[in-house]
Amino acid sequence: MGCTIVSASASAMYCYTFRRLGRGLRAALGRRTLVGIFLLMLPAAAAAVAVPVALSAVLAAALLVMRFTRCSYAAALTGMSLTVSADIVISGILLHIIGTYVRPELPGALGIIAEILLFSILRCTALYIIAVASVRDISADEYSCDKHGLYTAVCFCAAAAAVMAGFRGYSLPVCISSALCVILIALALYGERQRAQLRRELCQTQLQRDKYGNELSMRISNSDRERRIHHDLRNHISMLSSLAVQKKYDTLERYLGKMMDEIKMQRCYSRSGNRDIDSIINYKLAEGNLDEELADISVLVPPQIAIAPFDLDVLLGSLLDNALQGISEGGGRLSLEMRHNRGILYIKMKTSGGTLKDKSDELCGEFGKSREQSAAMDYVDMVVKKYHGEAEYSNENNDYIASIMMYADTTQ
């Protein structure tokens, strides 16, 4: 009975702490690999003397559930199984080595303290390498431990350590090091999450700053040109009038042509009044050096819509990057229609052109069958999903169409 309570507590503790970790591991290694690792480690864990039978039963049941269901806890159980199994094997080896070579050399209390410290440090290090370092690069929220996970892990840990300490057969070093391990790993994951969040915010700020900077420089440049034209207008008119009087029509035509070139504003593809959307479109298309005649841009959206600028950047940036890549190498046309109607944002982007056929493989990768391979389109899907929307991609007669709807209220 005691063993069962201890095992259940330990399982719950591991499960909660490593739930998110399990998803990270699954993403990093794949489900099959993890199941394979667990199956390899299970006999080793079962063979270890200190393993209560109940714990093995819980782990086996967890594996069974994971095998036959697609519930979100499956990955958590996998992570837990892997970590617990590794922990058991590592603990057994460490305790054997320390008990044989370290403790007999030191007298009484000093020996106990040295055993606890040494065992805790080595065990924590090993588990840190297995559980945290392997998913260190995965910085998305769902892969790390959140604040509630941390608190719960600490509570579970303290309770489990207290329960375990009350039973014979469990040495004090194991109890204390278990508590330290879980706290350390939870803290490390929590720290990783905080750092990831900070990195994301920094990235978002940087993007925003770049975008507004580009927009501003574009506007300043346009404004300077307009001012110069207005300033010289009187001179230009008198010159034109003089040429007309002298019937020098060829010169007049050339002069007018020069004026037109001067007046021609820097490319401005979108003037919807929504600063975020305009700046993304104008910047991307100007950067892609797209001829205005090849771009049919129709944006009809309110000045403010409830979509985070970062998400708009990701969404429009990815769509435009893909389209421009195809157009620049294939020489096609771009058509972008954005409309906001009754709380819904509709986006329809079409790239078309005869020579796009040469790029069919890549473009199909973006909009067609093997779309999963295109990371950019995955980002688009992610944003669309966040706003409860829907995206469709089609490829008809050499026209590649991305059609998107998203719920986006207005913010007045």
Partner 1 sequence: MFKIAVCDDEKQVRDELSVMLNQYSRASEIVVTFAESSDDLCDMLMDGKTFDMIILDILSGVIDGIRLGKILREKLKNTSTHILYISNEQGYAMDLFDIRPLNFIVKPIPAQKLYHCIDTAMDMFTDNDGCLVFNIGHTEHMIPYRNIRYIESNNKQVTVHAENDEYTYYGRLDDVPVSSDFIRVHKSYYVNRCFVRAYRFDCLKLDNDEIIPISRSYQKEVRELLHSLAGE
Binding site for partner 1 (CB under 8 A): 271-274, 298-303, 339-344, 346, 348, 387-390, 392, 403, 405, 407, 409-410, 412
CB of 81 to partner 1, least distance (A): 33
Helix%, strand%, coil% for the chain, nearest 5: 75, 10, 15
Residue closer to partner 1 (CB basis): 162 or 300: 300
Please state, in angstroms and rounded to a whole number, the distance separating the CA atoms of residues 112 and 91: 16
Q: Specify the residue, 399 or 409, whose C-beta has the smaller distance to partner 1.
A: 409
Shortest separation between residue 321's beta carbon and partner 1, angstroms: 23
What is the amino acid identity at position 279? S
Alpha helices in 30-107 (DSSP H): 31-47, 53-68, 73-97
Dihedral through CA 144, CA 185, CA 199, CA 148, nearest 10? 50
Least distance to partner 1 from the beta carbon of 303, Å?
7
Distance between CA atoms of residues 395 and 135, nearest Å:
38
For residue 232, CA distances in Å to 218, 258, 259, 262 come to 22, 13, 11, 11
SS3 call for 394: strand
Q: Supply angle C-alpha 131, 86, 133, rounded to 5.
A: 20
Are 27 and 75 a contacting pair, CB within 8 Å?
Answer: no
Token pair for 118: 């040494």
CB of 23 closer than 8 Å to CB of 142: yes
Smaller CB separation from partner 1, 204 or 272: 272
The DSSP call for residue 264 is S
Q: Shortest approach of partner 1 to residue 304 CB, angstroms?
A: 9
Q: How far is CA 130 from the centre of its chain?
A: 23
Distance of CA 1 to the CA centre of its chain: 45
- Which residue's CB is nearer to partner 1, number 73 or number 346? 346
* CB closer to partner 1 out of 232 and 292: 292
Cβ 66 to partner 1 shortest distance, Å: 26
Q: Which is nearer to partner 1, 236 or 348 (CB)?
A: 348
CB of 387 to partner 1, least distance (A): 8
Min. distance of Cβ 367 from partner 1 in angstroms?
Answer: 16
Comparison of 195 and 388: residue with beta carbon closer to partner 1: 388
Locate all alpha helices (DSSP H) within 290-412, ordered by sequence: 309-330, 360-367, 375-386
Give the C-alpha separation, 175 to 269, whole Å. 67
Distance CA 305, CA 343 (A): 9
Closer residue to partner 1 (CB): 98 or 391: 391
Q: Which residues of 24-50 are buried (b: 16+ CB within 10 A; e: fewer)?
A: bbbeebeeeebbebbeebbeebeeeee
- Looking at beta carbons only, is 298 or 370 nearer to partner 1? 298
- DSSP-based three-state secondary structure for 59: helix
Residue with tokens 């003089």: 242
Residue 83 to residue 145: CA distance in whole angstroms = 15
Pick 119 or 269: Cβ nearer partner 1:
269
Q: How far is the CB of 268 from partner 1 (least distance, A)?
A: 11
| Least Cβ distance, residue 389 to partner 1 (angstroms) | 7
Is the Cβ of residue 247 or residue 342 nearer to partner 1 in the bound state?
Answer: 342
